[in-house]
Chain A
Amino acid sequence: MQKLGKFILFMGTLFTRRENFGTYVKLTIDECIKVGYNSLFIVTIVSVFMGAVVTVQTAYNLVSPFIPDYVISLVVRDMTVLELSPTIIAIVYAGKVGSNIAGELGTMRITEQIDALEVMGINASSYLVLPKIIASMIMYPMLVVLSAFLCMYGGYLTSLATGIISGYDYIYGIRYEFIEFNVSFALIKAFVFSFLVASISAYKGFFTSGGALEVGQASTAAVTNSCIAILLADYLLAQLLLA
């Protein structure tokens, strides 16, 4: 509870003694490149293969002649939009971006760079952390949309390559009884997860003390705590919005 209180107070400091708007715009754009553009490769690889594997495994489990082929892609679509793209990619995102944020801020802390900002009269938490959280909340939902598309496309390529189902059936299943709210749900999850990853990782990094060993521990803790928070939030959001 003490740590939760400290985390909430830390979030409060992001909005006090802010610098001018232009400073944040520039910093946020830089962070967007770091958290978004630089994550494209890993998100692409994970998404395409995730789609391919899910398609093969769904086909493997749906062997009844009474179940039409297009159900395979329908299952792939719903799994992708509801869970795989927002949540599994969030775990990957925590591993890549979360550890990077914690490592960067932790190193800045132990090398007195954060102290240097404070001495200059700059609110270090606001200057360093707020752009990371804003950038994360802008870029991660975009990554989720891209991931969902690539995941389904990966399944499509697999179905064509292996002949599990025809391309026509795959597209038919993808379109069949599409519920628009599922996309909204995925985006809500993306916003929440992106905030959790950026803020928890920043918190862990910002309050690092000691040396290189502690920076490593902060990075590990950032990823672990982010993953736990993602899974908890995933359940809560599903219960709140779908049940």
Chain B
Amino acid sequence: MIEAVNIEKSFDGKEVLKGISATFEKGKTNLIIGSSGTGKSVLLKNIVGLVHPDEGYVLYDGRDFTNGDKQLQTQIRREIGMLFQGSALFDSKNVEENVMFPMDVLTDTPFEEKLERVNFCLERVGLENVNSKMPSEISGGMKKRVGIARAIVNNPNYLFCDEPNSGLDPQTSITIDELIAEITHEYNITTVVVTHDMNSVIEIGQKVIFLYQGNKLWEGSNENITQSEVKELNDFVFANRMMKLIK
């Protein structure tokens, strides 16, 4: 379980996060949603330690990640897997080397075992026979899958996904969502997904946190999100015609 407690963050005097507290539960896909510029990605960066909060702290299973010493932070980081918005695959490495990278640097595992694990992870995300391809030679959806394979290769306890569906067609988006949900349940990990895609919310939003202008306005799940009486959330949820029709 991850707990973000009273997170505040400002950039050049502009308050981006205004005291956000949230709990992300183990074995569930926890979604942070909201319009562009509401602070979703900044909150995620505060949680994973890429940005240090001005106020507040983050607990990973009770361990204070924000105020902990470097050793503890490194230890927690090595339990984290993360899928970035642009996949963030290393351009100079092929698919196999990208997925193997965390094991190469962080473990002393023999090559044969690493290769076996890499092939298992690639197979798990539905990719086969792409080991030698470079990131520039594969599609956006495949890059996301490779990113997920790299994120799970070291058996993480926490999985973070920043806009996993950005730039993908609706069908591939659903496949990626399903994959994230399956992996979360299969390995019983804490997954946090930042998205503004309502399809993802409906598909995998077991726990949903809605941000609006740096504040947490609503918390619930995909089962009750359409019954909310928060105006800003309703404006967000029913923004497109299909959702209006469903309503």
Residue of A107, A112, A113, A120 near B102 (CB, 8 A) is: A120
Contact of A118 with B50 at beta-carbon distance under 8 Å, contacts A17-B70, A19-B105 already known: yes
Q: B80: CB under 8 A from chain A?
A: yes
CB nearest to A107 among chain B residues:
B91
- Give, as a whole number of angstroms, the nearest-CB distance from A44 to chain B: 26
Name the prevailing secondary structure of the B interface residues: mixed
- CB-CB under 8 A from A16, the residues of chain B are 70
- CB-CB under 8 A from B85, the residues of chain A are 112
B103-143, CB under 8 A of A: which get 1 and which 0?
01110000000000000000000000000000000000000
Q: Interface of B with A (CB < 8 Å)?
A: 48-50, 70, 73-78, 80, 82, 84-86, 88-91, 102, 104-106, 160
Report the separation of the CA atoms of residues A112 and B147 in the bound assembly, to the nearest whole angstrom.
12
* Cβ B90 vs Cβ A113 within 8 A: yes
- CB-CB under 8 A from A19, the residues of chain B are 105
Q: Which of A108-140 contact B (CB under 8 A)?
A: 108, 111-113, 115-116, 118-122, 127
CB nearest to A127 among chain B residues:
B105
Q: Which 8 A-B pairs have the closest CB atoms?
A: A121-B77, A112-B88, A116-B88, A121-B78, A112-B84, A119-B82, A121-B74, A113-B88
- CB-CB under 8 A from B160, the residues of chain A are 119
Q: A184: CB under 8 A from chain B?
A: no
Q: A57: CB under 8 A from chain B?
A: no
* Cβ A119 vs Cβ B74 within 8 A: no
**Contacts A111-B88, A120-B80 supplied; 18 other A-B pairs, CB < 8 Å:** A17-B74, A23-B105, A108-B90, A113-B90, A115-B84, A115-B88, A116-B82, A116-B90, A119-B48, A119-B49, A119-B50, A119-B77, A120-B77, A120-B106, A121-B73, A121-B78, A121-B106, A122-B106
- CB-CB under 8 A from B90, the residues of chain A are 108, 113, 116
Report the separation of the CA atoms of residues A107 and B104 in the bound assembly, to the nearest whole angstrom.
23
A-B contact list, 18 entries, CB within 8 Å: A17-B70, A17-B74, A19-B105, A111-B86, A111-B88, A111-B91, A113-B89, A113-B90, A115-B50, A115-B84, A116-B88, A118-B77, A119-B48, A119-B50, A120-B77, A120-B102, A122-B105, A122-B106
